[in-house]
Amino acid sequence: MIPITSAPLPRFYRFVTPLISRLHRHLAYEAPETPDYGFAARAETIDLTIDEFPSAIMQYPIVFGGGEALRPMVLTGQPGRQQNQFVGEDGAWREGAYIPAYVRRYPFLLARLDPEIDEMSLCFDGHCPWLRDRDEGNLFGEDDNPSETTRQILEFCQSYEAAVRRTRGLMEELLELDLLVDLVRIDGAGRSVPVPGFQMIDEERLRQLRAEPLRKLMSTGAQAAIFAHLFSLRHLGQRPAFVPPESTAPVA
């Protein structure tokens, strides 16, 4: 295997190596019959892309975290507890709850093998037990061409990376417009309690935006993501008072 060690490994991945036909022609991927998400059982946050906001708002609060690499994520447990409340002891994700794409792509991902080159290669976690040498179901055929399974995996990872790029565009807009403030939740007594390390969109700052920034948000699709984020905060006890986008009256 050729491990990637030039940068910190993404969360959940322990030994990332590029998938190469001449080295892995006998490698097969066989996920368990019952999906096992035990590798995410201690993750109280999961990265989320802008494309996933509509699917995630029904179960999770969508917040922004990650320090300098600020990005959207869902809270799957109480911050600092290292417990994902959506993963059971058997590794099953809570029935009916949306499973973020970041989790579903494991043990595969796209990564740059050379930081000087933009091209990304399909890689995998070499420690994943679902990847083993077998006589059938291999990731490559006898001609070393990718199997149908491999093509589907690659397509999913490519779609995910495209969504990540769109998400970075959203973050650039939020930061440029200075819409983010420290996250708070509402406790049982109705008091605002800070949630350190996370941020949220401030509704008052959003209402004060002038016409041109609002038009830009609408044209890029960011406005829909903003309202989905605000709606999701009800899971933290928030009761958003924003005006729905179709009724928003921009300030001239």
Q: Each residue of 40-78: b (16+ CB within 10 Å) or e?
A: bbebbbbbbbbbbbeebbeebbbbbbeeeebbbbbbbbe
Lowest-confidence region among 5-19, 20-34, 165-179, 235-249? 235-249
Sequential DSSP letters for 4-39: --SSPPPTT-SSEEE--HHHHTTEEE---SS---GG
Under 8 Å CB-to-CB from 216, ≥6 apart: which residues? 173, 222
Q: Residue 6: pLDDT above 80?
A: no
| Whether pTM exceeds 0.85 | yes
pLDDT band at residue 3, thresholds of 50, 70 and 90? low
- Report which of residues 89 and 215 the model is more confident about: 89
Mean of pLDDT values over 79-85:
91
Q: Where are the domains of the chain?
A: 16-247
Write down the pLDDT at residue 252.
Answer: 27
Query: Which pLDDT tens digit goes with each residue over 203-232?
Result: 999 989 888 888 888 877 788 999 999 999
The 3-state DSSP class for residue 100 equals coil
